A = this chain, B = another copy of it.
Amino acid sequence: MKGFKLSSREYQENDTQINIDTYAKKLSIGQGQCTIIAGPCAVEDRDGYLKIASFLKSAGAHALRGGLFKPRTSPYSFKGLGRAGLDIMLEARQLTGLPLVTEIMDVRDLDFLYDNIDILQVGSRNMQNYSLLEELSKLDKPILLKRGLSATIEEWLLAAEYILAGGNKQVILCERGIRTFEPYMRNTVDIAAVALVKQLSHLPVIVDPSHATGHWKMVAPVARAAIAAGADGVMVEVHQDPDKALSDGKQSLTPESFSAMYQQLMEIAALNKTRID
Binding site for B on A (CB under 8 A): 1, 3-4, 71-76, 105-108, 125-126, 128-131, 149-150, 152-155, 158, 161-162, 165-166, 178-185, 188-196, 198-199, 209, 212-213, 215, 217-218, 221-222, 224-230, 264, 267-268, 271, 275
Task: Flag if A192 contacts B181 (CB, 8 Å).
Answer: no
Contact B185 A188 (CB under 8 A): no
B268 touches A264 (CB 8 A): no
Number of this chain's copies in the assembly equals 4
User: Judging by beta carbons under 8 Å apart, are B225 and A191 in contact?
Assistant: yes
Cross-chain contact A199 with B178 (CB below 8 angstroms): no
* 26 contacting pairs across A/B (C-beta < 8 A): A3-B74, A73-B155, A75-B158, A75-B165, A75-B166, A106-B107, A106-B131, A107-B108, A126-B129, A129-B129, A150-B150, A153-B184, A182-B193, A185-B192, A185-B193, A185-B196, A188-B193, A192-B221, A195-B225, A198-B221, A221-B228, A221-B229, A224-B229, A228-B228, A267-B271, A268-B268
Chain B's closest residue to A177 (CB) is: B192
Contact between A158 and B74 (Cβ–Cβ < 8 Å)?
yes
Q: Which of B150, B217, B218, B227 contacts A149 (CB 8 A)?
A: B150
Complex Cα–Cα for A186 and B164 (A): 27
CA distance A133 to B224 in the complex (A): 34
Instruction: Report which of B3, B74, B185 forms a contact with A161, defined as CB distance below 8 A.
Output: B74
Top 8 nearest A-B pairs (CB, nearest first) are: A150-B150, A195-B221, A228-B228, A225-B225, A106-B131, A224-B228, A125-B128, A191-B191
| Smallest beta-carbon distance A70→chain B, Å | 9
Contact B76 A3 (CB under 8 A): yes
| Residue from the list B179, B218, B225, B264 in contact with A150, Cβ < 8 A | B179
A221: chain B residues at CB < 8 Å are: 192, 194-195, 198, 228-230
Q: Give the chain B neighbours of A108 by CB distance below 8 A.
A: 107, 131
A192 contacts B188, CB within 8 Å?
Answer: yes
Quick one: closest B residue to A127, CB to CB?
Answer: B125
Bound CA–CA A105/B277 (angstroms): 37
